[in-house]
Structure 1
Amino acid sequence: MQNQSFDFKEICSSEPLGFIKPSSIMDFKDPLVKWIDENTTVVGYLSDDHNSSNPLEDMDGYGFIYTARDQTQEFNSVLGLDQYGSADTDLVSDHPLLRRRWVAAAIEAEEFQVYCQATAGCKEFSDDYYRGRAQRYWRENHDKYTYYSQSAIYDFEFSGRVLRELWSELRADRDKSIGDPDSVVLDCYEHGGCSWSLAGSGNQCRWDTSSGAGVWIPDSEARLEIDRRAKVYTFGFVDFTINEVGEKIWFALIEGQYQKGLKSKSPYFKQWSEAFAWLEQQGQTLKLSALGTKSEQQRYVRVVARRRAAMELAESALTLYNAWVNGDVYGTVVATLNRCNHGSWHVVDSESCWGYYGSEDSYSALRSDFDDVLADYRQRFAPEHCSHWTEPNAAQG
């Protein structure tokens, strides 16, 4: 059978009965077409999914996003902030490190020295004297708080500074007492559309980018995945580049401390999982002792390795979330059309599947669904009939 002409836009404009409306993205993508006989063709295309739901609410393993504008309470809690968006120093008021930091600050603080001089008969004041007074004052007053008399450590002005500095240190160290240690701060760029990104990594427009506008946190499944990846990312990380044909290719790098100051790079892989597996295998021969002491090893896993894993998962979640908030969600449609004697078309069969996020992934899914339908036709028709199927050029008009 000779190639048949097929004008997809013309058929869309005639809207055969039962024909699902194509997405406007099909103005830039070719439909998939296969002729069954001279009057019957199978066509695959994408249609807009107007009833899609937030993928982060429906899918396990992608975590959650809280925005500073719409979920203020949750946003602040995740980051260890108080109701006003400032450091919640109450979270560190009982921390074991606070006593040491407060005593050290008291020795140097002029206001504490003045207090000591005014309440003591000693005429020789030294660091040892101030240290002793500070330790005693802490024992007697650290659990007291009053706004009306100077009987608690918080009545000294420097105490607030010590609390804020300790809060910042523990937050940077991903301490579990300060918010969610696996949280990732996000920026939001809005100009005609909406694009969320890891803080500092997206479009940084001085007018249209809101820094720290949201925060991503893992759900239970994502947290388990962070645990798994962190064990591997202790030894290095996975990254990607774009090859000459525009495809994303993956590779892994081993950290320099395991290679005497040099980084070892893996071959390029088509899949992230392949690069990750390479790094995982290399890690089996490496020793954590290269990171230093036990405490240094633990801190590296907590601050560096887990951070890599969390940011990687957050970025994957943002890919889905950005597609959803911008309406980049589709259904795949594979329709069998029959042309009548007078030239008009009508739908004799149609299969659709909805909820694909992102045009590229959706188009890949369309190809798979299209092949499945053709495979069903091959089972129903004799092989010699199928051998005459052709693929005409789809006129895009």
Structure 2
Amino acid sequence: MEHLLNQQVQNIEISGIRKFFNLVSNEKDIVSLTIGQPDFYTPHAIKQASINAVNNNHTTYTANAGVIELRKAIANYYESRYQIPYHPESEIIVTAGASEAIDITLRTILEPGDEVILPAPIYPGYEPLITLARAKPIHMDTTKTNFKITKSQLEETITEKTKCIIIPSPSNPTGAAYTKKELDEIVSVLKDKKLFILSDEIYSEIIFDQPHVSIASYPEMRDQTIVINGLSKSHSMTGFRIGYALAPHWLSKHMLKVHQYNVSCASSISQYAALEAFNSNDDHLQLIKDTYKSRRDLVYNRLTSMGIDVQLPEGAFYMFPRFPMRNENSFEFGLTLVKQAKVALVPGNSFSQYGEGFMRLSYAYHEDVLNKGLDRIEKFLNQ
């Protein structure tokens, strides 16, 4: 009966990140630096808010777009932090994680034959959704441009079939984040194009040496931009599954239909926890960011001292070093690291063909774990 299934579903694969993680999960004495899972606990006040939501019987359906108080809090956050106004009643949808926000966006805007530009190496969660919509992913090689889209690349890659460009900033797996000057160049190309920009800003709170700049902050881009964000990474709330999509009303009302028939609404309990996250003191955000920056510097200094070619990330909690590989691809090299060094990193080819030769290292781990893993890598390279 398997041959009767949707061919598009049959053709997509489990994420290379999870595939490799599952493959090595039963290995003994492994230092795993694979998953982008914050090692901080969810703040106490947020956990208490979820308990209170249960005790106060906030366990029913909410409005499809989410609890209005939460949508107002999200609107206040984006206006106060980035000076970007969104109407809570008509331009904000609370979703079951940022992943669902990406899904409903792509299912709303894409038709068969459309092209979506992806700056590669890139998180593998976009391409299957594009394929399921019967559109075509177009990978743009950014390995020679500091893992960022450039003006000339855009001009060369955009075609009459281009429907959307995905811009993750900061990026998974590279940690690259766009400056205002870099976005100015991109906007100069895109502002007159009839296409959408999906701005994935899930790591916007984890950016180190510069302020986060959203392409939606450009007035001329607002009507064609969908912003994706959430609380999984910033507030250590991965299991709460709360994300959100910000889009102009004329587009958001159609995205809401897809969301409604997909999940009805995000978890009511998680929504009240998210409301507390937006309303509570955010001092812990700075503490988390400072911790990640310290870890970034530790990993970067250790890798460069080993002679590894690696770019200093500007945000998120990933490093994307290029390793000296001999007659093996990234996946095979990853297995070699597991077997001989007892360290697990994610193979770079999990992030498109342009990640070949690289490995992703997550530094969302305690410094003791990072040092242990780096010691093993150094010993392996010396041998």
TM-score range relative to shorter protein: under 0.3
Decide which structure has greater strand share.
1
Bigger radius of gyration among the two:
1
TM-score by length of 2: 0.24
TM-score by length of 1: 0.23
